[in-house]
C-alpha cells in the first residue's frame, strides 16, 4: 500500500511538472505577437511628414558654429528641409530701432547672416514672426525665459506693419521671390499662454495676425502666412472662422502639443491620456476642426511636438524616444501635413546656459555634438519607404520603397524610466520571397550613449578626448544581416527598443 501511494505521488509530481512546462510553453507562445507582412496588402503614400521640419531655440543661436554643426549633422541623417526658431525680432538681432524723432530704423545685418547660414546648409527658414522689439512694445512684459523676450502687443500698429513690410520686402530683394515663396511665415508663438500678454488674449492676437498677414501679402501674394501657433491645440477652429469672416489671408494652420500636456488643457476633459497618445489625439482634434471649417483644405503644420515639454532625462535623453517616435508616426499618419520636432539641438538657452551634457534637453543632439538615442531613431525612421502597407499590429510600421524593398519598423513601447520586459514579434511574410534581412537597432545597448557616459563617471564637463569617445559610443552599430528560413522571422525587442528590418525580395 505504501509503495502504491509513493508511486501515485511520483506520478502526480511528474504530471504537475508536465503541466507547468506546458503552461509555460503556451504562455511564451501567447507572448509572441504574429504580424503578417503582405506585399499585396492595401497601401497608401507615406510622405515623411515627421522629418522635414525641426525646431530650435532662438534666432541668434543659429550664428554659432556649434548650432550649425548640429544642423549639418541632423540634415545628414534625416529629410530636414526647414528649421523654426523664436525671436527674429528680439533686440539682440537688432532689426528695429528708432531715431531721436521716433521714426523706425531697420537693420537686417544679423537677419542676413542668420538666413544665409541656413540656406548655405540646404535648409530653409520656417519664419516665426516674434517677439516684440523693446522700442515698439506697448509695455515692458518680459517673459520668464533666460533671454527675456518681450511678449507684449505693439504700441503702434502702423510701426509694426512697417517693420513686417520692410522685413518681408528685404527678404524678397535679397533671396528672390522664387526662394522666399517656399518659406513659411508664422505669426507669433503660443499666444494663448504666457507668450502673449494682450488682453483679451484671443482678440488681441487676432489683431496682430490680421495686421501681419495683410502686410506680408501686400509685399507679394505668393508669400505663405499662417497661425495661430498655439500651445495645447487651441483656437484653430475660431481662428479659421475669424479669417474666413474677415477675409484675412491664411495659407496654413499651426499648433503645438507635447506628450505630457494635460487633457484639461487640450480637450477640456479629466481623462488620463498616456504620453504616447496625447500628441496624435491633439493633431486629430485640429485635423477635424479644419475639415469642418469654412476652409477645409488648409494644410496643418504641427510646428512643435515632443514627448515632454519638461526636462525629463528618462524621456527625451533616453532610448524611450525611439518607440515613442515610431508610434507617433504610426498614429499621426494621414492627419497632418508636417510635424516639427522640438528640437534638433541642445544649443538652447531657454532655461539658461547648459549646465551638463544630459539634463533632459529637447534636442536630438546633446552639448558638444553628442547624438542621443532620439537622433538615432530619426536616422532609422528616415530609412522607411514612401508607401505604407496595412498591418494588424500597433507596434509595427510596414513600408515599401520605390525599388520594391520592404522596410519594417517594430518597437516595444514601455517606460519611460523603467525599460520593462522584452517582447518577441514574429513577422510572417506573404506574397514575397526572402532569404535574408538586415536588422538595425536603437535601444539601451545599441545607439545609446549613456552607458559610456556613466562608465566615465558622468563628467559635467567632458574633456575633448571624452567627447570623442562619447560621440563614437553614440553611433548605431552596423545593421546585422540575418538569414531567413522559410517565410517568417522572429525579432526580440527589449523594453524601449526600436528595430528596423530591411528586406530585399528575392527576384
- Residues in contact with 345: Cβ distance below 8 Å, sequence separation at least 6, in sequence order: 56, 57, 66, 67, 70, 71, 74, 363, 364, 365
Q: Residue 149: helix, strand or coil by DSSP?
A: coil
List, in sequence order, every residue forming a beta bridge with 492; answer none if it has no partner.
424
Provide φ and ψ at 471, rounded to 5°.
-60, -40
Distance CA 129, CA 165 (A): 12
**Which cell numbers hold the place of 220?**
507679394
Is the separation of the CB atoms in 385 and 400 below 8 Å? yes
Annotated active-site residue 190? The verdict is yes
Catalytic residue among 33, 190, 338, 367: 190
- The reply to whether omega before 444 is within 30° of 0 (cis) is no
Sheet architecture: strand order including 32-38: 32-38, 423-430, 488-493
Q: 3-state class of 147 per DSSP?
A: coil
3-state secondary structure of 83: strand
Instruction: Please choose, from the candidates 155, 223, 227, the residue with its C-alpha nearest in 3D space to the C-alpha of residue 189.
Output: 227
For the chain, give the longest Cα–Cα distance: 117
Count CB atoms within 10 A of the CB of residue 97: 15
How far, in Å, CA of 291 to CA of 215, rounded? 27
Nearest to 134 by CA among 97, 181, 86: 97
233-260 exposure pattern, b = at least 16 Cβ within 10 A, e = fewer: bbbbbebbebbeeeebbbbbbbbbbbbb
Residue 140: all three cell numbers together: 515692458
Angle of helix 157-175 versus helix 109-120 axis, rounded to 10 = 40
Whether the CA torsion 102, 104, 109, 112 is positive or negative: it is positive
User: By C-alpha distance, which of 184, 181, 179, 168 is closest to 120?
Assistant: 179
- What residues form DSSP beta bridges with 106? 96
Active site residue 304: yes
Which residue in the list 304, 312, 496, 502 is annotated as catalytic? 304
All three cell numbers of 295, joined, read 476652409
Helices (H), 32-89: 65-77
Catalytic residues: 190, 304
Amino acid at each position: 500500500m505504501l509503495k502504491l501511494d509513493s508511486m501515485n505521488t511520483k506520478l502526480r509530481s511528474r504530471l504537475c511538472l508536465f503541466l507547468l512546462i506546458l503552461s509555460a510553453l503556451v504562455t511564451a507562445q501567447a507572448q509572441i505577437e504574429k504580424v503578417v507582412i503582405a506585399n499585396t496588402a492595401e497601401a497608401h503614400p507615406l510622405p515623411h511628414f515627421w522629418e522635414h521640419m525641426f525646431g530650435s531655440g532662438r534666432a541668434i543661436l543659429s550664428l554659432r558654429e556649434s548650432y550649425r554643426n548640429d544642423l549639418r549633422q541632423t540634415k545628414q541623417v534625416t529629410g530636414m528641409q526647414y528649421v523654426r526658431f523664436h525671436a527674429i525680432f528680439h533686440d539682440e538681432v537688432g532689426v528695429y530701432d528708432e531715431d531721436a524723432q521716433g521714426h523706425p530704423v531697420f537693420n537686417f545685418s544679423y537677419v542676413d547672416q542668420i538666413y544665409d547660414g541656413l540656406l548655405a546648409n540646404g535648409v530653409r527658414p520656417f519664419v516665426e514672426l516674434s517677439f516684440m522689439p523693446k522700442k515698439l512694445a506697448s509695455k515692458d512684459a518680459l517673459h520668464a525665459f533666460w533671454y527675456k523676450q518681450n511678449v507684449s502687443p505693439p504700441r503702434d500698429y502702423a510701426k509694426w506693419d512697417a517693420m513686417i513690410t520692410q522685413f518681408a520686402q528685404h527678404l524678397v530683394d535679397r533671396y528672390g521671390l522664387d526662394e522666399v515663396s517656399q518659406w513659411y511665415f508664422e505669426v507669433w508663438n503660443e499666444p494663448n499662454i504666457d507668450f502673449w500678454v494682450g488682453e483679451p488674449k484671443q482678440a488681441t492676437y487676432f489683431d496682430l495676425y490680421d495686421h501681419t498677414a495683410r502686410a506680408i501679402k501686400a509685399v507679394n501674394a505668393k508669400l505663405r502666412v499662417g497661425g495661430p501657433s498655439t500651445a495645447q491645440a487651441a483656437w484653430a477652429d475660431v481662428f479659421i472662422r475669424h479669417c474666413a469672416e474677415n477675409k484675412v489671408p491664411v495659407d496654413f494652420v499651426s499648433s503645438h502639443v507635447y506628450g505630457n500636456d494635460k487633457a484639461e488643457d487640450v480637450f477640456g476633459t479629466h481623462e488620463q491620456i498616456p504620453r504616447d497618445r496625447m500628441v496624435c489625439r491633439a493633431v486629430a482634434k485640429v485635423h477635424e476642426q479644419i475639415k469642418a471649417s469654412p476652409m477645409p483644405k488648409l494644410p496643418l503644420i504641427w510646428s512643435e511636438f515632443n514627448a515632454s515639454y519638461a526636462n525629463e532625462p528618462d524621456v527625451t535623453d533616453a532610448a524611450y524616444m525611439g518607440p515613442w517616435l515610431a508610434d507617433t508616426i504610426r498614429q499621426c499618419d494621414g492627419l497632418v501635413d508636417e510635424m516639427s520636432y522640438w528640437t534638433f539641438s541642445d544649443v538652447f538657452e531657454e532655461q539658461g546656459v547648459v549646465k551638463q551634457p544630459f539634463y533632459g534637453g529637447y534636442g536630438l543632439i546633446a552639448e558638444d555634438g553628442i547624438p542621443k538615442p532620439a537622433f538615432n531613431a530619426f536616422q532609422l525612421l528616415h530609412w522607411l519607404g514612401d508607401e505604407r502597407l496595412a498591418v494588424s499590429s500597433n507596434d509595427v510600421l510596414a513600408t515599401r520603397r520605390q525599388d520594391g524593398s520592404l522596410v519594417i519598423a517594430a518597437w516595444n513601447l514601455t517606460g519611460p524610466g523603467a525599460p520593462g520586459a522584452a517582447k518577441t514579434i514574429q513577422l510572417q511574410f506573404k506574397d514575397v520571397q526572402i532569404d535574408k534581412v538586415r536588422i538595425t537597432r536603437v535601444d539601451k545597448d545599441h545607439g545609446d550613449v549613456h552607458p559610456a557616459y556613466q562608465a566615465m563617471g558622468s563628467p559635467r564637463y567632458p574633456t575633448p578626448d571624452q567627447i570623442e569617445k562619447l560621440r563614437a559610443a553614440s553611433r548605431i552599430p552596423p545593421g546585422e544581416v540575418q538569414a531567413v528560413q522559410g517565410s517568417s522571422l522572429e525579432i526580440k525587442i527589449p523594453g524601449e527598443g526600436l528595430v528596423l528590418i530591411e528586406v530585399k525580395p528575392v527576384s
